[in-house]
Chains A and B, each alone.
Chain A
């Protein structure tokens, strides 16, 4: 096998792989841990994992990585904004909230992360906090009962903190 040349530090992945015994059945957990490190799944990491775990190929790993919504093949922002668009949030107006975010944080077509890498925006289908609808989560912090005005203020504050 040819040695992979990459900007990625494979020792971190090696550690994760050995923690989970190079087991095929632990693939999803391995990918979750790798994503925790890089905030996304770099292509080289996918190839590497596919080569290292017996019985898997890079193609299979990519197949798994693209199947689950949690995995991202492109880098996410420093602030990961998740707009819940579950039924309860939808009925109580999650779309205007999403529109307000998109207006505030313009992105190139088809991209989910701002150019400066500060924010990424995605919708999720239910966070199970329906009593607080509509809900937005930014880096694990839950913001209840959002309105377009409220989320704009929150983003403003975050931007200020970042000196933008």
Chain B
């Protein structure tokens, strides 16, 4: 097919943008993602700018520019300051540290050691990202630019090849070839389901002709996952470019990005990015001089987890209650406003420009047989390095938790890892070495889901975690399917009974039975997967359930109702202090004789524990 002549010269634009960046001189990258902003990065940026502008000492060639970037992913160490030219990353930077960095390192060439990252395993100070295990062991494609560019500047995006893929695609003017490339790349939906992306595109493109839509699912509702937030905040243009390429491929001229209202920063940056891209004619009418038009709208969600389900999400865009409907008809045939609709998740679409630029083969060389490319995971919980990571599919849990994650926090013992949020399951020590991909995780009783990884230690109560997730799905069930609405409620009631110490062994059978009913009788993914956290913990941690039921004990010491506060008779001196401090009069005893706690009255407030001068009172 003949190439289309475009009125934009992307190479020239790139040169111009790179020239602008060169003029910035020394780039001081300060993370301005949600996490770092909470830790005060805006003040840090201001201070750097103040110092940089003020000093005439810095001649034109060693001018410095402070760049607020998107999320670096290493939120816990925020505020993060990276100066690539000096090969340094500073962690936990406060406003009061800025002057020292400036004087000592930027001007004096001497790094500020106390602000360097300390490896939790070796206790060594580490200079830069290449040597921080958290970064060194990752492969970043979707997140590549997050943290390296000013998320609010379109020039910075262009300088790192932003919109080049869109340019190439428009120049070639062959939508079918685009779909072929995506098919060949092996990209699968990153929102959880893992449906082959190319196939979805092909289905939608088959209905070309009339009005059709692209919808980007940014309703990242899984508690514990924040990769989509990072992409939207840190590299919004990449997402817009991915949407534009998708729209071109399937023949859509209107797109919606559905973003959670809980992500105000992401919404703000996307709005700006859309405006900037329209000004450059990378979006809007006759994009780059072709006859391809695309308008992108932003819709703010209103706090309903079920809206992550595609048919519910579309109902929500249409202004209705976000309740799923049966499929078929699939969105590809009858979606938003009854028109053919392609609906993809943020991370999926962020992978598209990179695949177009580097080719399908480059992408499908990464990963496993059935799951290609990289996947982002939100690593949280009881590990030393929490944050957002991106690794090739097939990486093992051990590599993630112990290499990238830097091992368990405070020397705690690894017990389990919860993958995939409320739809996923808990995996244990025996799963640490399986290569993680869509299919292996399903086999093990969990799922990739959106990629939340919550690491749990021996101080985490598994039954309580199952209760937590069930509580979540019960609240978020939209109520359409009775098995989900009532089943999750009853499963939650049983779990509550167990954590309170009132469970019976029959309850465990009932739990399993209910789980099957909920799974079989629900329309959408929320209900179909809601029992997973319970089923997987029952499978791997049944003894912990039994301990709650039979021994009335919580092995992790978390469940308050099962806690017992007792006085050790051999240590008690009979000083009566505990009895005087007890708010409910549960402690009996006479002076100089060992006291005793009446368990039926005790409310486990711990007042006696703190009052005892002889450490004779313990919680067990």
Contacts and interface: CB of A to CB of B under 8 A. Distances in A.
Interface of A: 23-29, 31-32, 63-64, 67-71, 85-88, 90-92, 124-133, 135, 140-144
Interface in B570-616: none
A111 B158 CA distance: 51
B224 A32 contact: no
B302 A71 contact: yes
28 contacts: A23-B319, A24-B318, A24-B319, A25-B319, A31-B302, A32-B302, A64-B319, A67-B321, A69-B303, A69-B304, A70-B301, A70-B302, A87-B380, A87-B381, A87-B421, A87-B454, A90-B223, A91-B381, A91-B454, A91-B456, A91-B465, A125-B305, A126-B222, A129-B34, A130-B386, A131-B35, A131-B387, A142-B34
A137 B316 CA distance: 26
A26 B300 CA distance: 11
B300 A29 contact: yes
Interface of B: 34-35, 37-39, 74-76, 78, 220-226, 229, 260-264, 299-305, 316-322, 337, 378, 380-382, 386-388, 418, 421, 452, 454, 456, 460, 465, 468-469, 472, 475-476, 478
Given A127-B34, A128-B263, A142-B34, 5 more contacts: A25-B318, A92-B381, A129-B75, A131-B388, A143-B38
Contact of A132 (B38, B225, B320, B456): B38
A125 B225 CA distance: 11
A54 to B, nearest CB: 12
A130 B378 contact: yes
Contacts of A24: 318-319
B386 A125 contact: no
A88 B383 CA distance: 11
B304 A126 contact: no
Contact of A128 (B229, B319, B456, B476): B229
A157 B75 CA distance: 26
Q: Which 3 A-B pairs have the closest CB atoms?
A: A131-B75, A86-B223, A69-B303
A90 B418 CA distance: 13
A126 B388 CA distance: 15
B475 to A, nearest CB: 8
B448 to A, nearest CB: 16
Nearest to A63: B321
Contact of A129 (B38, B319, B382, B454): B38
A123 to B, nearest CB: 10
Contacts of B225: 126, 128, 130
A32 B460 contact: no
Given A68-B322, A126-B221, A144 B35 contact: yes
